[in-house]
Structure 1
Protein backbone atom coordinates (compact mmCIF):
# COMPACT_ATOMS: atom_id res chain seq x y z
CA UNK A 1 0.00 0.00 0.00
CA UNK A 2 0.97 3.62 -0.44
CA UNK A 3 0.77 6.67 1.75
CA UNK A 4 -1.26 9.42 0.13
CA UNK A 5 -1.19 13.17 0.57
CA UNK A 6 -4.40 15.02 -0.36
CA UNK A 7 -5.98 18.44 0.14
CA UNK A 8 -9.52 18.67 1.52
CA UNK A 9 -11.90 21.24 2.96
CA UNK A 10 -12.89 20.72 6.59
CA UNK A 11 -16.60 21.35 7.23
CA UNK A 12 -16.87 22.25 10.93
CA UNK A 13 -20.68 22.09 11.04
CA UNK A 14 -20.66 18.39 10.21
CA UNK A 15 -17.10 17.55 11.34
CA UNK A 16 -16.41 16.09 7.89
CA UNK A 17 -14.16 16.76 4.93
CA UNK A 18 -14.96 17.24 1.27
CA UNK A 19 -12.68 16.99 -1.71
CA UNK A 20 -11.31 20.15 -3.27
CA UNK A 21 -12.07 20.45 -6.97
CA UNK A 22 -8.46 21.32 -7.76
CA UNK A 23 -6.24 18.26 -7.94
CA UNK A 24 -2.44 18.16 -8.21
CA UNK A 25 -1.31 18.97 -11.71
CA UNK A 26 1.54 17.15 -13.44
CA UNK A 27 4.23 16.50 -12.48
CA UNK A 28 2.64 16.22 -9.00
CA UNK A 29 0.34 13.51 -7.70
CA UNK A 30 -0.98 12.20 -4.36
CA UNK A 31 1.85 9.76 -3.54
CA UNK A 32 3.72 10.29 -0.27
CA UNK A 33 5.62 7.01 -0.01
CA UNK A 34 5.12 3.42 0.96
CA UNK A 35 3.13 2.28 3.98
CA UNK A 36 6.36 0.87 5.47
CA UNK A 37 7.79 4.40 5.45
CA UNK A 38 5.60 5.22 8.47
CA UNK A 39 8.32 3.64 10.63
CA UNK A 40 11.38 3.44 8.38
CA UNK A 41 11.34 7.01 7.10
CA UNK A 42 8.87 9.31 8.86
CA UNK A 43 9.69 8.01 12.36
CA UNK A 44 13.39 7.48 11.69
CA UNK A 45 16.09 8.76 14.05
CA UNK A 46 17.32 11.23 11.41
CA UNK A 47 13.88 12.88 11.12
CA UNK A 48 13.54 12.87 14.92
CA UNK A 49 16.96 14.56 15.04
CA UNK A 50 15.57 17.31 12.80
CA UNK A 51 12.49 17.71 15.07
CA UNK A 52 9.95 16.55 12.50
CA UNK A 53 7.50 15.65 15.26
CA UNK A 54 4.35 15.89 13.16
CA UNK A 55 5.76 13.61 10.47
CA UNK A 56 7.09 11.26 13.19
CA UNK A 57 3.48 10.81 14.32
CA UNK A 58 2.71 9.00 11.04
CA UNK A 59 4.15 5.90 12.71
CA UNK A 60 0.96 5.60 14.77
CA UNK A 61 -1.70 7.73 13.08
CA UNK A 62 -2.73 9.59 9.95
CA UNK A 63 -2.20 13.35 9.80
CA UNK A 64 -4.98 15.90 9.33
CA UNK A 65 -3.20 19.25 9.09
CA UNK A 66 -5.09 22.52 9.08
CA UNK A 67 -4.37 26.02 10.38
CA UNK A 68 -1.29 26.02 12.64
CA UNK A 69 -0.68 22.31 12.08
CA UNK A 70 -0.57 22.93 8.33
CA UNK A 71 2.16 25.50 8.92
CA UNK A 72 4.01 23.01 11.10
CA UNK A 73 3.81 20.44 8.30
CA UNK A 74 5.13 22.98 5.81
CA UNK A 75 8.01 23.89 8.15
CA UNK A 76 8.96 20.24 8.68
CA UNK A 77 8.94 19.61 4.94
CA UNK A 78 11.17 22.64 4.43
CA UNK A 79 13.62 21.22 6.98
CA UNK A 80 13.62 17.92 5.07
CA UNK A 81 14.32 19.73 1.78
CA UNK A 82 17.15 21.62 3.44
CA UNK A 83 18.75 18.39 4.69
CA UNK A 84 17.63 16.05 1.90
CA UNK A 85 21.13 14.85 1.01
CA UNK A 86 21.88 13.85 4.59
CA UNK A 87 18.45 12.24 5.07
CA UNK A 88 18.46 10.24 1.84
CA UNK A 89 22.04 9.09 2.43
CA UNK A 90 21.30 7.92 5.96
CA UNK A 91 18.05 6.20 4.98
CA UNK A 92 19.47 4.80 1.73
CA UNK A 93 16.70 6.43 -0.33
CA UNK A 94 16.80 7.56 -3.95
CA UNK A 95 17.03 11.36 -3.61
CA UNK A 96 14.89 12.26 -6.63
CA UNK A 97 12.13 9.81 -5.69
CA UNK A 98 12.04 11.05 -2.10
CA UNK A 99 12.12 14.71 -3.20
CA UNK A 100 9.20 14.02 -5.57
CA UNK A 101 7.07 12.83 -2.65
CA UNK A 102 8.03 15.86 -0.57
CA UNK A 103 7.06 18.10 -3.49
CA UNK A 104 3.70 16.31 -3.70
CA UNK A 105 3.07 17.36 -0.09
CA UNK A 106 4.04 20.96 -0.88
CA UNK A 107 1.55 20.88 -3.77
CA UNK A 108 -1.21 19.60 -1.46
CA UNK A 109 -0.39 22.40 0.99
CA UNK A 110 -0.56 24.96 -1.83
CA UNK A 111 -4.00 23.68 -2.84
CA UNK A 112 -5.29 23.58 0.76
CA UNK A 113 -4.10 27.14 1.45
CA UNK A 114 -6.19 28.47 -1.45
CA UNK A 115 -9.52 27.63 0.24
CA UNK A 116 -11.21 28.42 3.53
CA UNK A 117 -10.75 25.59 6.05
CA UNK A 118 -8.30 23.78 3.77
CA UNK A 119 -6.50 20.82 5.31
CA UNK A 120 -3.92 18.29 4.17
CA UNK A 121 -4.45 14.62 4.89
CA UNK A 122 -1.52 12.18 4.93
CA UNK A 123 -2.19 8.50 5.45
Structure 2
Protein backbone atom coordinates (compact mmCIF):
# COMPACT_ATOMS: atom_id res chain seq x y z
CA UNK A 1 0.00 0.00 0.00
CA UNK A 2 1.15 3.55 -0.62
CA UNK A 3 0.46 6.94 0.87
CA UNK A 4 -1.66 9.25 -1.25
CA UNK A 5 -1.79 13.03 -1.19
CA UNK A 6 -5.05 14.71 -2.10
CA UNK A 7 -6.70 18.10 -2.00
CA UNK A 8 -9.97 18.53 -0.15
CA UNK A 9 -12.59 21.23 0.19
CA UNK A 10 -14.97 21.66 3.10
CA UNK A 11 -18.64 22.09 2.27
CA UNK A 12 -21.11 24.38 4.06
CA UNK A 13 -21.63 21.71 6.75
CA UNK A 14 -17.89 21.40 7.39
CA UNK A 15 -17.65 17.99 5.75
CA UNK A 16 -14.63 17.47 3.58
CA UNK A 17 -14.80 16.38 -0.02
CA UNK A 18 -11.70 14.92 -1.63
CA UNK A 19 -11.13 16.24 -5.14
CA UNK A 20 -10.06 14.11 -8.07
CA UNK A 21 -6.36 14.19 -8.86
CA UNK A 22 -5.92 16.23 -12.05
CA UNK A 23 -4.66 14.41 -15.11
CA UNK A 24 -0.89 14.51 -15.28
CA UNK A 25 -0.49 14.83 -11.50
CA UNK A 26 0.88 12.10 -9.27
CA UNK A 27 -0.72 11.49 -5.87
CA UNK A 28 2.02 9.29 -4.39
CA UNK A 29 3.40 10.54 -1.08
CA UNK A 30 5.60 7.49 -0.59
CA UNK A 31 5.28 3.96 0.64
CA UNK A 32 3.10 3.15 3.65
CA UNK A 33 6.17 2.49 5.82
CA UNK A 34 7.38 6.03 5.05
CA UNK A 35 4.90 7.25 7.67
CA UNK A 36 7.55 6.35 10.25
CA UNK A 37 10.75 5.73 8.30
CA UNK A 38 10.78 9.00 6.34
CA UNK A 39 8.11 11.58 7.24
CA UNK A 40 8.10 10.69 10.94
CA UNK A 41 11.82 10.00 11.14
CA UNK A 42 14.14 11.60 13.68
CA UNK A 43 15.89 13.39 10.78
CA UNK A 44 12.67 15.12 9.68
CA UNK A 45 11.65 15.90 13.25
CA UNK A 46 15.12 17.34 13.99
CA UNK A 47 14.54 19.95 11.29
CA UNK A 48 11.54 21.21 13.24
CA UNK A 49 8.93 19.70 10.94
CA UNK A 50 5.54 19.44 12.64
CA UNK A 51 3.11 18.46 9.89
CA UNK A 52 4.66 15.46 8.14
CA UNK A 53 5.69 13.70 11.38
CA UNK A 54 1.97 13.38 12.21
CA UNK A 55 1.90 10.61 9.61
CA UNK A 56 3.79 8.33 12.00
CA UNK A 57 0.62 8.00 14.06
CA UNK A 58 -2.30 9.05 11.85
CA UNK A 59 -3.41 10.47 8.53
CA UNK A 60 -2.49 14.12 7.98
CA UNK A 61 -5.16 16.76 7.45
CA UNK A 62 -3.79 20.21 6.68
CA UNK A 63 -6.62 22.72 6.83
CA UNK A 64 -6.73 25.53 4.27
CA UNK A 65 -5.57 28.09 6.82
CA UNK A 66 -2.46 25.97 7.54
CA UNK A 67 -1.42 25.34 3.93
CA UNK A 68 1.05 28.29 3.82
CA UNK A 69 2.88 26.93 6.90
CA UNK A 70 2.79 23.43 5.41
CA UNK A 71 4.38 24.75 2.22
CA UNK A 72 7.15 26.35 4.31
CA UNK A 73 7.79 22.97 5.92
CA UNK A 74 8.13 21.38 2.49
CA UNK A 75 10.66 24.05 1.49
CA UNK A 76 12.60 23.29 4.67
CA UNK A 77 12.71 19.58 3.87
CA UNK A 78 13.74 20.27 0.30
CA UNK A 79 16.62 22.45 1.54
CA UNK A 80 17.87 19.45 3.56
CA UNK A 81 16.84 16.74 1.12
CA UNK A 82 20.23 15.08 0.75
CA UNK A 83 20.74 14.91 4.52
CA UNK A 84 17.25 13.56 5.16
CA UNK A 85 17.53 10.96 2.40
CA UNK A 86 20.90 9.78 3.72
CA UNK A 87 19.58 9.59 7.28
CA UNK A 88 16.57 7.49 6.26
CA UNK A 89 18.42 5.33 3.73
CA UNK A 90 16.49 6.45 0.65
CA UNK A 91 17.64 7.98 -2.63
CA UNK A 92 17.32 11.79 -2.71
CA UNK A 93 15.53 11.67 -6.09
CA UNK A 94 12.90 9.30 -4.69
CA UNK A 95 12.20 11.41 -1.60
CA UNK A 96 12.34 14.54 -3.76
CA UNK A 97 9.79 13.22 -6.22
CA UNK A 98 7.36 12.51 -3.37
CA UNK A 99 7.97 16.00 -2.01
CA UNK A 100 7.18 17.31 -5.50
CA UNK A 101 3.83 15.49 -5.43
CA UNK A 102 2.99 16.78 -1.96
CA UNK A 103 4.00 20.32 -2.89
CA UNK A 104 1.97 20.20 -6.08
CA UNK A 105 -1.13 19.20 -4.11
CA UNK A 106 -0.48 21.93 -1.53
CA UNK A 107 -0.14 24.55 -4.26
CA UNK A 108 -3.42 23.38 -5.85
CA UNK A 109 -5.06 23.54 -2.42
CA UNK A 110 -3.78 27.05 -1.76
CA UNK A 111 -5.06 28.23 -5.11
CA UNK A 112 -8.65 27.09 -4.41
CA UNK A 113 -8.75 27.62 -0.64
CA UNK A 114 -8.64 23.90 0.10
CA UNK A 115 -6.72 21.66 2.41
CA UNK A 116 -4.30 18.77 1.96
CA UNK A 117 -4.87 15.19 3.02
CA UNK A 118 -2.14 12.57 3.16
CA UNK A 119 -3.48 9.09 3.88
TM, length-normalised to structure 2? 0.90
**Matched residue, 1:38:** 35
Distance verdict in 2 for CA 1:24–1:95, change over 3 Å = farther
In the alignment, the residues of structure 2 paired with residue 31 and residue 62 of structure 1 have an alpha-carbon distance, to the nearest angstrom, of: 14
State whether residues 24 and 30 of structure 1, in contact with CA within 8 Å, keep that contact through their aligned partners in structure 2.
no
User: Aligned-pair distance for 1:115?
Assistant: 1.3
**Structure 1 contact 24–108 (Cα < 8 Å) conserved:** no
Structure 1 residue 74 corresponds to structure 2 residue 82: no
Structure 2 equivalent of residue 111 of structure 1: 108
Structure 1 segments of 4 or more deviating over 4 A? none
**Aligned ranges for residues 95-110 of structure 1 at < 5 Å?**
95-110=92-107
- Range with greater deviation from structure 2 (2-11 or 67-76): 67-76
Deviation at 1:24, TM superposition (A): 4.0
Residue in 1 aligned with 2:117? 121
Instruction: Give the unaligned 5+ runs of structure 2.
Output: none
Give structure 1 stretches of 5+ with no counterpart. none
Deviation at 1:62, TM superposition (A): 1.0
